[in-house]
Chains A and B, each alone.
Chain A
Amino acid sequence: MPVSDQITIPAEAAALKDVRAFIRRHLADHTTPDALEDLVLALDEACANVIRHREPDLTDGEIHLRLHHNGPAVTFQIDAYCSASQMGQVKPRDLEDVRPGGLGMHFIQHAMDRVRFIPDRGHPGSVTLVLDKTLPPPAADPAP
């Protein structure tokens, strides 16, 4: 049965743990521990990017994360992820370039099958981040 849910958090670092709990609560029983934690990391990084780079006039100071889960297919959506003008800065850094920072988008792309940016109709001038993943199934319980 398809499941849709959403979480709204203040755009503050202290709220990221709530995002992690939200992902774990919904998906812990539907995939492997490693895949789950990769997803947790990816959504944490995506929300952290909003917190670090948000333009105050673009959002209401909150982050709205939506989850849609249907069988192994899961889609996450973050509205007002960034402004259209910031799109050029949204890219993973070269991993050969050893320096602090810039790893978040690399982690997101690693965890997801597809990363999309679409115009955000509710927030003119901004884009919505859409993340798609087909979950690997959880390991079967060993036979009794």
Chain B
Amino acid sequence: MIQLTTHPTDTGTEVAVQGEVDLESSPELWQDLQRHITQGQTLRINLSGVPYMDSTGVAVLVRALKQSQSVRAQLVLVSPSPRVQAVLDLARLAQLFTIETDAD
């Protein structure tokens, strides 16, 4: 189960994800994210509350990135948890994303 909390930002929308993202929950995440990918806007996905993500979660992020690029929207991953960061690194995909951390 995941919890998705959405709030507007100056440049678009931020979606905060809470919970484990896996084969069960990733379809719900994708359904929500794609509603917020809007031309010229920035979608921020806060992943600080995601202690676990598998390949289906990574696939959702890649799909979101590709859809964002196709409509000239921006996608930013915010504060990915250490485990999310590790999975992105393992998949060699971290460099594809704009990632903001607490230190930024």
Contact = CB atoms under 8 A, between A and B. Distances in A.
Given A52-B23, A95-B91, A41 B63 contact: no
B24 A45 contact: no
The interface residues of chain A, by DSSP majority, are classed as helix
B103 interface: no
Contact of B56 (A48, A98, A99, A106): A48
A102 B56 CA distance: 9
B23 A51 contact: yes
A48 B23 contact: yes
B55 A16 contact: no
Contacts of A14: 24
A14 B1 CA distance: 9
Given A37-B83, A45-B55, A100 B63 contact: yes
- Residue among B23, B52, B93 having the largest count of chain A Cβ atoms under 10 Å: B23
Given A37-B86, A110-B90, A100 B62 contact: yes
A13 B63 CA distance: 20
A107 interface: yes
B83 A103 contact: no
Given A100-B60, A100-B63, A103-B55, A48 B93 contact: no
Interface of A: 13-14, 16-17, 20, 34, 37, 40-41, 44-45, 48, 51-52, 95, 98-104, 106-107, 110
